[in-house]
C-alpha cells in the first residue's frame, strides 16, 4: 500500500498519544446511542469473528487490492484461495500445515485475542466468549486483516516489534520471526512489512482507546514511530470507511 502524508490523522495521533500515560485500564462502557450502529448493521457480538469477516468484510476486497498483509499474495475474494509460490512464500523450515494453511487466506488479529483475554481477566478465550465486551473486541473488523494462513499460524499471539537484521526465512515475504529463550521462559516477536506497520499502529491505538487495552510505554512509542513512518494510505482509508458504513457504524479515529 502506498504511503501518503495525512496531516489531520498525524495530528490526531499526536494529540492522543500525548495522553498515552492515562489510557483507560479497563474496557469502557458500551457505546452510547450517538455512536451505536443502527439496526441495519450486523450484530458484532452475535456470531464468530470468521463468520462476521467472511460475510461482511470479504466483499470489500472486490473493491480494493485483495492482497495478504505479510507476503502481498493476491487471493480470490470469493474463496480466499491463494497460490503461495506465486508471491514467494518459501519457508526455510516448513511446518506440517503449510500445504493447507499456506494456500488460503485467514483473518489475522492484529491485536491478539490473548491481549483481550488479559484485559477482561476471564482466563481463556473460550471463557471470555461468554462476555459480550470480549466478543465485540474479538470480532471488531478493524482488527482483522487478510494473512496467509501459514504466517498467521507462525505469528500466533506474539507481539509486533522491530527485529534487527531483516533476516528472510520465508522466501520473499517481508516477515521476520525472532524467538528468544530465557531461563524457564520462551518468547518470540514478529516484524511486519514496512507498509503495514502504520496500519498495525493505528489499529493498536484504536484498541487502547476503545477497549481499554494496556500497552507498555515502549509499545506506544513504537506505534507512534510506525504511524509517522507509514502514514494512512488511500487503501487503508477506503477500508476504514467501508467498515464504518457497512459493519460497525463507528470510525477508527486514527485513520478517518
Q: Which is more confident, 7 or 64?
A: 64
Residues 6+ apart with CB under 8 A from 193: 69, 70, 72, 174, 175
Distance, CA of 44 to CA of 32 (rounded, Å): 16
Q: Is the dihedral of CA 210, 212, 215, 220 positive or negative?
A: positive
Question: Residue 124 belongs to what H/E stretch?
Answer: none
Cβ atoms 73, 170 nearer than 8 A: no
Residues 6+ apart with CB under 8 A from 130: 122
In the block, which residue shows the cell 514496512?
194
Q: What 3-state class would DSSP assign to 177?
A: strand
Q: Which stretches does DSSP call E strand in 40-184?
A: 105-109, 144-148, 176-182
Tell me, what DSSP letter sits at residue 89? -
The answer to whether residue 105 scores a pLDDT higher than 70 is yes
Locate all alpha helices (DSSP H) within the chain, ordered by sequence. 7-17, 49-52, 98-101, 113-120, 125-128, 132-139, 149-155, 194-211, 217-229, 234-243
C-alpha cell at 99: 500445504
Per-residue pLDDT tens digits for 10-55: 434 443 444 343 443 333 333 433 344 467 899 999 999 999 999 9
Distance, CA of 10 to CA of 8 (rounded, Å): 5
Q: Which of 224, 170, 215 is nearest to 193 (CA)?
A: 170
Q: Mean pLDDT, to the nearest integer, of 194-199? A: 97
Q: What is the pLDDT of residue 38?
A: 67
Cβ atoms 255, 202 nearer than 8 A: yes
State pTM to two decimals.
Answer: 0.84
Per-residue pLDDT tens digits for 209-234: 999 999 999 999 999 999 999 999 99
Amino acid at each position: 500500500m502506498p504511503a501518503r502524508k495525512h496531516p489531520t490523522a498525524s495530528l490526531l495521533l499526536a494529540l492522543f498519544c500525548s495522553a498515552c500515560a492515562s489510557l483507560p485500564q479497563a474496557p469502557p462502557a458500551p457505546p452510547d446511542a450517538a455512536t451505536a450502529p443502527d439496526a441495519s448493521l450486523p450484530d458484532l457480538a452475535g456470531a464468530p469473528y470468521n463468520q462476521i469477516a467472511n460475510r461482511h468484510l470479504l466483499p470489500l476486497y472486490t473493491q480494493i487490492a485483495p492482497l495478504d498483509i505479510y507476503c502481498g499474495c493476491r487471493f480470490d475474494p470469493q474463496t480466499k484461495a491463494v497460490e503461495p509460490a506465486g508471491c514467494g512464500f518459501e519457508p526455510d523450515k516448513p511446518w506440517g500445515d503449510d500445504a493447507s494453511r499456506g494456500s488460503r487466506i485467514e483473518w489475522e488479529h492484529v491485536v491478539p485475542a490473548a491481549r483481550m483475554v488479559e484485559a477482561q481477566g476471564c482466563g481463556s478465550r473460550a471463557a471470555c466468549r461468554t462476555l459480550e465486551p470480549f466478543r465485540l473486541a474479538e470480532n471488531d473488523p478493524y482488527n482483522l486483516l487478510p494473512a496467509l494462513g501459514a504466517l498467521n499460524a507462525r505469528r500466533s499471539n506474539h507481539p509486533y516489534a522491530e527485529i534487527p537484521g531483516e533476516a528472510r526465512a520465508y522466501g520473499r515475504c517481508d516477515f521476520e520471526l525472532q524467538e528468544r529463550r530465557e531461563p524457564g521462559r520462551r518468547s518470540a516477536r514478529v516484524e511486519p512489512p514496512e507498509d503495514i506497520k502504520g496500519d498495525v499502529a493505528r489499529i493498536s491505538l484504536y484498541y487502547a482507546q476503545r477497549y481499554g487495552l494496556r500497552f507498555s510505554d515502549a509499545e506506544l512509542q513504537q506505534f507512534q514511530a510506525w504511524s509517522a513512518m507509514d502514514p494512512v494510505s488511500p487503501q487503508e482509508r477506503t477500508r476504514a470507511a467501508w467498515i464504518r458504513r457497512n459493519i460497525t457504524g463507528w470510525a477508527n479515529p486514527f485513520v478517518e
